[in-house]
Structure 1
Amino acid sequence: MHCRWLTVAVLLLSVGCAHSKRAPEAELPKYEHVFQKPLAEALAATRQLLEEQGYTFEETEDPNQLVTTWSEPDRAGSRNTTYTRYLVTGVSVAPRQSVVRIFRMTQQAAGNDVEWKKVWWKVYMERWEQEANPFVKEVDFGQDDAMTKRLSMLRGAQHGTRDLDLEQALTLRLESAPSVEVLAGNAAEEKRPTAVRAPEFYLERWKDELPAEGPCTTSVRGLPELLHPGLTLLIGEQLGSNEAPDVVGHVVCQAAQTGLAVVLGLSLPETEQARVDAYLSSPGAPADQDALLEGRFWTRTYQDGRSSRAVMDLIDRMRALRAAGLRVTVVAYDTDVLNGSERDAAQARVWTKRRATKPDEVQVVLAGNTHTQMQKGTQWDPSFTPMAHLMKENRSLIVLDMSYAQGTRWGCDLDRDSKLVCGIVGATPAPAVAARPGLSPYIQMRKTSATESLQGLLYVGKLTTSLPALLGPRMAPPTDPAQAPRMPGRDQPLPGIF
């Protein structure tokens, strides 16, 4: 397939708009979605999506285009046939930003029985038609002028429409996958990034006096109906956003304000517990913040969102709640030396053992959404047993999926060379958890059977990126995506993911 032909096809699409019937306005894209991915990676995912649906591809001279082979005629033998194919065009907006458009191309071929003189000739040509490909460049037309004209017709104008269903499927594939968590274990570290210690780096809550209305400024609708002594609230999130830690902070504050003892579980390695405890008992001044961030977890090469600025702020908020007299604490319940089901089993043991010694405490556990699923198995490990599944015998367990509107977050992903790269990525919710932006936080419960743990949604709003804590307090990514901070990959095996 020559690039010249593709250019002509696109031009024909443009010119034909003035004379063809437009698609309903509801079916037209309102805007172009920009993936936080290099164009090569976005196109590779598009190719995989179409291959899974049985399509094959032709070679193109333009690396930013994909073209599937023409489909078989839907009315073979009638000489009135429709051929279809997919044309994918990619646009590189920035080194790590791209747009992908998927067109479903159709072309109709019309026959005329008057041209054919004898029945036996018609039968012969119909058999030939079922085996021939009218789009092959080199075709032996023979001496038949009618056949030459007919093949020329097939090379005429084509029609294309955006396949929005496929584009949505591509968006979900690229932007709604579970968050990747990087376990450093005993891997050798590269030189750590230089910590920013300018005055504007530090959180300033330690300077503020307690507001007259109390420490809890935002209520989460639907939470009071769930609160009771001994509640375990397991909340799954997409890592690296500002919104999830912020709303979880509201949940803890609202629960503690009722007089209940509340423990917040964060997916930090247990080796960070001593630093967390020291910080919770400190004034939270700059020197205290420096001490909290000295741990390897905050300074490791791969920052996967669990060590974000928003998480640091959530810990500081718990310190402030304790200073205000509320009964809250923080537990670092994760491990950095186990992988897969063993890691989740260790996480679950932390909470089952704590429940046995503190039966009335309210547990609010924040975790990546892979660990909070109730069923066994993932795409990469059918035998994977998540933490939530191991905790389901707890009759006071409530599992909440994060509901959110499309935005961005900080996360890690494998590039085309299977190297881990961490940075700003897109966040598109699956339909089951999608919601419009601008609403106040709320909990919405789902119907479950009498034998299942209660499950629901925690709405947090449109996601925005929370950078790693050591990168400072910037509230938004740079205007130029090419300048967005990123953690580079390494040419060595990863110590572990999930």
Structure 2
Amino acid sequence: MHCRWLVVAWTLLSVGCAHSKRAPEAELPKYEHVFQKPLTEALAATRELLEARGYTFEDTEDPNQLVTTWSEPDRAGTLNTTYTRYLVTGIQVAPRQSVVRIFRMTQQTTGNDVEWRKLWWKVATERWEQTSNPFVKEVDLDQDDTMTKRLSMLRGAQHGARDLDLEQALTLRLESAPSVEVLAGNVAEEKRPDPVRAPEFYLERWKDEAVAAGPCTPPVRGLAELLHPGLTLLIGEQLGSNEVPDVVGHVVCQAARTGLAVVLGLSLPETEQARVDTYLSSPGAPADQDALLEGRFWTRAYQDGRSSRAVMDLIDRVRALRAAGLRVTVVAYDTDVLNGSERDAAQAQVWTKRRAAKPDEVQVVLAGNTHTQMKKGTQWDPSFTPMAHLMKDHRSLVVLEMSYAQGLRWGCDLDRDSKLACGIVGATPAPKVAALPGQSPHILLQPTSANESLQGLLYVGRLTASLPAILGPRVEPPKDPRQAPRPPGRDRPLPGIF
């Protein structure tokens, strides 16, 4: 093997042919993780992550590369010393899809006091090697190899390996944040899209209500032990998935079949309540579905996941349960004229007043997980007071956070220019809510003190994206490169470690 060939390998840049041991294959994921983000945004987030850990950056000719300066160990000179730096390479897969690889590069200097060179000469040479930046120089190792010219050879024998822990931290930074909820007044209104009304658009549960009113399958394990008159169940979600509305439908169905009166709270503005009530009392035919979706909430230019196809189907499922004689209804409890703590205070007031009027009703409230946290404050507003905190005195409050496996969802976020963008985004769970796919829905309560409300996790499975209802099923999300067999040019197998 020609030594210079290794320059194009992502995991090693070396003047010599030095090799490190190959890591066990079991420690490497099978596929690359493809971010549902433009490459510029993914690299900017990578820079912020490394800067937060104290690293500074060298200049590079390639805008798709980041290189940190060498670390300064406590002791250098003629002693055996290891220096480290990070090399980041980005690949744009599509306009809103990218891959980021982070390599931890190491270089060792070996001291030998019996060498004829004087100590000051060796120290000066080592310092020059550490402070010089070969990434902005072309080293003519191979006239025909443009990759060699772009990366250049680092001086001295160096070893590189994928830092999978750092890549996981980047994934959580990009994919575990709450989705932006778009309210009237916080974004400029644009031209509304024309509604799609192809025949395959319409839900068909109304054609066979007997099937729709059948058993609640699959049952949610752990729910039966919680059910009792007066229960308030707050469920925090990542917006825009198929799985959460589906599992919440199971919860509502299972609770209503015990004979309890159940109200489902959806984060729809209260201005949609009249349309929802009309639909719940209708046969659910295509004309009824059209009427439900006539409101501005469903036709906004920016759809944030609360108006998804899955939420529309959840409303239709409640309609079918009512047609079967169960005591269940839907309340649109949100507002689109308030923001921040005022908005959450208004949301909490809806449920406080309803509890006073209906003390035995079971409240199942679905909300973005920022609103269901029990403690005050967020990263963007330390004084923020969430809805759940204001409801903590409810006598039978249970707060469940969504537990899920990595997947995709529909959401909105601000790009690097603070412009709102909505679409398919990655969904990576934080460690405390992460779970393997393939399990049946279940509730797992967590230990709390005697004076605290019950809290726990609601497992929903691996997330898939639910598109806005108004677009209909003809617009399908892209295939998930992390699970499907590898198509050419989409997901890329990880290189080995040399």
TM-score of the pair, normalised by structure 1: 0.87
Residue 66 of structure 1 aligns to a residue whose secondary structure is: strand
Per the alignment, in what secondary structure is the counterpart of residue 115 of structure 1? coil
Q: Return the offset for 1:110.
A: 2.0
Does residue 207 in structure 1 map to residue 207 in structure 2?
Answer: yes
1:224 match: 224
1:11–1:432 distance in 2 versus 1, CA, 3 Å: closer
CA contact (8 A) 1:74 1:81 kept: no
Partner of 2:442: 442
Mapped contact 1:9–1:158 kept (Cα < 8 A): no
Which residue number corresponds to residue 149 of structure 1?
none
Deviation per residue, 1:187-233 (Å, 9 max, x gap): 65222101011111111111113139825232100000000000000
Q: Write the mapping of 1:448-463 to structure 2, written as runs, cut at 5 A.
A: 448-463=448-463
The alignment status of 1:428 with 2:428, answered yes or no, reads: yes
- Helix, strand or coil at the partner of 2:347: helix
Distance across 1 between alignment mates of 2:14 and 2:470:
49
Distance in structure 2 (CA, Å) of the matches to 1:447 and 1:350: 28
Structure 1 equivalent of residue 103 of structure 2: 103
Decide whether the 8 Å contact of 2:7 with 2:13 is kept in 1.
Answer: no
* Conserved 8 A contact 1:109-1:154: no
- What is the count of residue pairs matched by the alignment? 460
Unaligned runs of 5+ in 2: 135-152, 482-498
Matching residue of 2:308? 308
Aligned to 1:59: 59
Flag the 1:177–1:16 CA change in 2: closer, same or farther, 3 A: farther
State the shift of 1:335 in Å. 0.2
Task: Give the C-alpha shift of residue 184 in structure 1.
Answer: 1.6
Matched to 2:322, the amino acid is: R
Is 1:80 the counterpart of 2:80? The answer is yes
Q: Structure 1 CA distance, aligned partners of 2:425 and 2:186?
A: 27
Q: Which residue of 1 aligns with 2:491?
A: none
Q: Paired residue for 1:346?
A: 346
- Residue 136 (1) aligns with residue 132 (2): yes
| Cα contact 1:77–1:129 (8 A) shared by 2 | no
CA contact (8 A) 1:135 1:155 kept: no
1:127-150 residue CA offsets vs partner (Å, 9 max, x unmatched): 647865544269xxxxxxxxxxxx
Give the counterpart letter for 2:460 in structure 1: V
1:303 and 1:375, CA in 2 relative to 1: closer, same or farther beyond 3 A? same
* 1:271-325 CA-partner distances (Å, limit 9, x unpaired): 0000000000011111111110000000011100000000000000000000000
Distance change (3 Å), C-alpha of 1:308 and 1:56: same
Task: Tell me: CA distance 1:40–1:154, structure 2 relative to 1, closer, same or farther (3 Å).
Answer: closer
Give me the whole-angstrom Cα distance separating, in 1, the residues matched to 2:180 and 2:96: 18
User: Are the structure 2 counterparts of residues 132 and 187 from structure 1 closer, same or farther at C-alpha, using a change threshold of 3 Å?
Assistant: closer
TM-score, normalized by length of structure 2?
Answer: 0.87
Aligned to 2:487: none
Supply the AA of the counterpart residue of 2:96.
Answer: R
Larger deviation, residues 8-17 vs 440-449? 8-17
**Identity of aligned pairs, percent?**
85
SS at structure 2 position matched to 1:113: coil
Shift of 1:111: 3.1
* Contact 2:14-2:157 within 8 A present in 1 as well: no
Which residue does 1:486 correspond to in 2? none
Find out whether 1:364 has 2:358 as its counterpart.
no
Partner of 2:381: 381
* Cα contact 1:108–1:154 (8 A) shared by 2: no
CA distance in 2, matches of 1:267, 1:180: 13
AA paired with 1:335? T
Which residue of structure 2 lines up, in the alignment, with residue 320 of structure 1?
Answer: 320
Change in Cα spacing, 1:134 to 1:181, as seen in structure 2 (3 Å) is: closer
Amino acid at match of 2:334: D
Letter in 1 for 2:433: V
In the TM superposition, what is the alpha-carbon distance from 1:157 to its structure 2 partner?
2.7
- 1:246-288 CA-to-partner distances (Å, cap 9, x unmatched) read 0000000000000000000000000000000000001111111
In the TM superposition, residue 112 of structure 1 has moved relative to its aligned partner by 2.9
Q: Measure how far apart 1:9 and its partner are.
A: 7.4
Contact 1:411–1:425 at 8 Å: present in 2 too? yes
What residue number does 2:279 align with?
279
1:461-476 paired onto structure 2 within 5 Å: 461-474=461-474, 476=476
Question: Structure 1 residue 348: deviation in Å?
Answer: 0.1
How much does 1:114 deviate?
Answer: 2.4
Please give the alpha-carbon distance, in whole angstroms, between the structure 2 residues aligned to 1:54 and 1:220: 46
1:30-69 aligned at under 5 Å gives the runs: 30-69=30-69
Q: Partner residue of 2:330?
A: 330
Consecutive unaligned residues of structure 1, counting only runs of 5 or more, are 139-152, 482-498
How much is the aligned-residue C-alpha RMSD, in angstroms? 2.6
Contact 1:249 1:314 (C-alpha < 8 Å) held by counterparts = yes
**How far does residue 475 in structure 1 lie from its aligned partner after superposition?**
8.2
The 8 Å contact of residues 345 and 386 in structure 1, kept in 2 or not, is answered as: yes
CA offsets 1:308-352 (integer angstroms, 9 cap, x no match): 000000000000000000000000000000000000000000000
Match of 2:392 in 1: 392
